[in-house]
Structure 1
Amino acid sequence: MTNGISALATSDAMRIALQKIQLQLAKGQKELASGTVADEGLTLGSRVGQAFSLNNQQSQLSAIQDTNKLAATRMTALQTSMTALMKSAQDFSGQLMGARSSPGNASNIADQAKSMLQNLEGILNTNISGDYIFAGENTGVKPIASYFSNPASTAQQAIDASFQATFGFPQSDPRVQSISQSDMQNFLDNQFQSAFSAQNWSATTSSASDTAIKSRISPNESVDTSVTANEPAMRKLAMAYTMVAGLNVDKMGSGAYQATMDKAIAMIGEAVTGLTGAQAKVGYAQQRVTAADDRMTLQSNMFESSLGDLVGVDYNEVSLRIQSLTTQMEMAYSITARVQQLSLLKYL
């Protein structure tokens, strides 16, 4: 009977020992997989707050770097778009200079201007991953309404009404031929240009925000990382293309026609200057984002190193510990099996 009780006690002791070994083995396997101690609180004691702080700072830097990637993608697209706008504007300005003294080619130049305006609208409505990059803070809203639409757009109706109020007849009237150079120049410098003021542009054409996207590019640094469709450069391009495409230049006399060409050329020149400035601003923001990312990468590496010192494990030591625990567990299973085979009958 004594031997049976001893066997039972031995079996219970081995079962408890096995459970402890299994727990230690699971702990070792977890450490080997993660590279960090299984229980930071138990291992670090009073230093656990330091590890938490380092983890938190590293996570913050990682989150900012993720948003910086989005900002970098947006700014690259902005630069590409503005380069395309500048090139096409400069090319068209050259065509206007050539066509200035050739009213007979007015119909063709008007068609080209219409295409230029539609291209401008398309670029300003560029969408990347659901965000309109020229919409400012209103990234979810398509910023620019089409000027040439059916029925006529609000902007076109406003300009048509302004033309008729100024001259007493619509653009389609044959009397357009009689408009003098000075009268057309006065109309373009005042009533027509007023249609592209910031206030009227927002009322008739643009749903973009005046406020650019301000991105937090480091824990203590923010910068504008967008350009809006309400920039003066964009409005001046639209004004130049619209006056050539939408005022029936093919029906004008030579004086009014030249006044329109001169105004369009001047507006394109100012727009190109504005686009150059906008590109420089975005380029500066790109440099700041890159520099901030470089600094945060260094900081993150430092935090990771400090965390490693606190909670990192020695892979060789953990591997040896797992091997030892595995051997112990196998031995424990073997002994347990032998004990379970013991019975009082073998000793009778």
Structure 2
Amino acid sequence: MKTSFISSLSIQTTMRYAVAKAQQDMVAAQQEVTTGRHADVGVALGATTSRSLDLTRDVLRIKSMLTTNSLATQRLESSEEALSKMFGLGQNILDSLIGIGGGSDSTNLGVARTSIQSALDTFASFANTSVNAEYLFAGINSDIKPFENVAAAGSAVQVAFDAELAKFLTDNTIASRSDMTEQDMSDFLNRMEQMFNADPANPADAPYLLTSPPHLPTVAGQDFWSAFVSNASDENMKSRITQSEIVETSTNSNTAGMRKFVLTSLISMEFLTNDISDEARGVVTTRAQAYIGQAMSNLTGERARLGLSAERVKKANETLEAQQKIIEVHLNDLESVDAYEASTRVKGLEALVETAYTLTARLQQLSLVNFLR
């Protein structure tokens, strides 16, 4: 008969490996209990892992689109609010113009000019509104301040306006503005309206582009608006709100409403004075009321357009959120684990580790000295 010997060291080594494996398994099981999904999806799903990856990518894409849509919604809401304030300023100007009527009282005229200048100054500040470091009314030039300080005394636009007036008087052999007739004033305002709306790309607008003189050669051939008032792009910001839908989510300061608002303010500040005839001033008042009415109508139209875009973004979000829920349900079916089973496995592994620790401690206490005494 042969007796075999088992080293206590080999037993301890085997036990140590068992403890290390149990601890590793316990970490994975605890992770599954916490997250509710497999610790190693690739091992658990095998051939269906690619489907899990596709669904996960779809969820991330939808979340990214929802984040982009939230920024677009913020831009739309801020733009609508600014346009609403601009509309209110237009109403203030209209009230001032109606208030003076056909009167020539210098005090009333001065109050009206001051009120209109203040409205224009506030209008410019709204036109330069920025959100998240992007100018709302700059079109795609969102990093460029879109509106010049048109209300300040001696601003570039007022100097240019005065230059056009001086040229008009010279070309028509009119000694001074006080000598302008009703027809003269009407002709000048018609020209300024054409200049404010001129498009350099339209050959028909060539007669209304800037010339040198009365302006510097550097601006010759440009339109009045982009040369002295606006730095904005005509192209608005666009956002992809779903995988197949793109909408405009901004406006710009080149719209007709913006142009008419500034034109109204300039002619009112320039001509609501006592140094022109009552007939000529009457033309100015009538035109200014018509222009500001058109400006307010256009501002309302822009608000309505942005409101429709905001509604489309809202509907898109609802659709995306529904898609996300559906995908997450399928993804959960693939990757989720039985929380109860995982918790039971953790407890079993904990018991195994504790037992291994106990056995290891007892093995370490084995010594021949204890049996030789």
Same fold? TM cut 0.5 = yes
Instruction: Measure, in 1, the Cα distance between the counterparts of 2:26 and 2:109.
Output: 86
Contact 1:135–1:207, Cα closer than 8 Å, also in 2: yes
* Per-residue CA distance 1:145-183 (angstroms, 9 max, x = gap): 112446x333222211110011139xxx99422211110
- Counterpart position of 1:63: 64
Query: Equivalents in 1 of 2:270, 2:348: separation in Å?
Result: 86
* Alpha-carbon distance in 2 for matches of 1:138, 1:192: 26
Output the TM-score relative to the length of structure 2: 0.87
Q: Does 1:259 align with 2:260?
A: no
**Pick from 360, 363, 373: which aligns with 1:336?**
360
Q: 1:294, CA displacement in angstroms?
A: 0.4
Contact (CA 8 Å) 1:3, 1:344: kept in 2 or not? no
Deviations 1:88-118 (A, max 9, x none): 2123213212313112122221111111111
Distance 1:64 1:322 in 2: 39
SS in 1 for 2:241: strand
Aligned with 1:37: secondary structure?
Answer: coil
May I ask how many residue pairs the two structures share in their alignment? Answer: 343
Does the aligned pair in 1 maintain the 2:195–2:224 contact within 8 Å? Answer: yes
Asked whether 1:188 is paired with 2:189, we answer: yes
Question: Which residue pairs with 1:165 in the alignment?
Answer: 167
Question: Match for 2:147 among 130, 144, 158?
Answer: 144
**How far apart are residue 196 of structure 1 and its match?**
5.0
Taking only the aligned residue pairs, the percentage that are identical comes to 30
For residues 4 and 282 of structure 2, the distance between their equivalents in structure 1, rounded to whole angstroms, comes to 120
Alpha-carbon distance, 1:192 to partner: 5.2
Q: Which residue of 1 aligns with 2:229?
A: 205
The separation in 2 between residues aligned to 1:264 and 1:279, in whole angstroms, is: 22
Counterpart amino acid of residue 154 in structure 1: A
For the residue of structure 2 that corresponds to 1:275, the secondary structure is helix
Deviations 1:318-345 (A, max 9, x none): 1111111111111111111111111233
| Corresponding residue of 2:217 | none
Q: Separation in 1 of the partners of 2:5 and 2:162?
A: 109
- Say if 2:260 and 2:294, in contact at 8 Å, map to a contact too: yes
Alignment-derived partner of residue 249 in structure 1: 273
Question: 1 CA distance for matches of 2:238 and 2:326?
Answer: 28
For residues 1-348 of structure 1, what are the structure 2 equivalents within 5 Å?
5-104=6-105, 105-149=108-152, 152-168=154-170, 175-191=176-192, 193-197=194-198, 199-247=223-271, 249-348=273-372
Task: Look up the SS of the partner of 2:251 in the other structure.
Answer: coil
SS in 1 for 2:253: coil
For 1:3 and 1:124, locate their aligned partners in 2 and report how far apart those are by CA, in whole Å: 95
Asked if 2 retains the 8 angstrom alpha-carbon contact of 1:240 and 1:267, the reply is: yes
Partner amino acid for 2:155?
S
Quick check: 1:68–1:217 contact (8 Å CA) kept in 2? Answer: yes
Cα deviation for residue 314 of structure 1 reads: 1.8
Question: Could you list the runs of 4 or more consecutive aligned residues of structure 1 that deviate by over 6 angstroms after TM superposition?
Answer: none
Distance 1:211 1:17 in 2: 68
Per mean C-alpha deviation after superposition, the further-off stretch among 175-184 and 219-228 is 175-184
Unaligned runs of 5+ in 2: 200-222
Give the structure with the higher percent helix.
1
Q: Any stretches of 5+ residues in structure 1 without a counterpart?
A: none
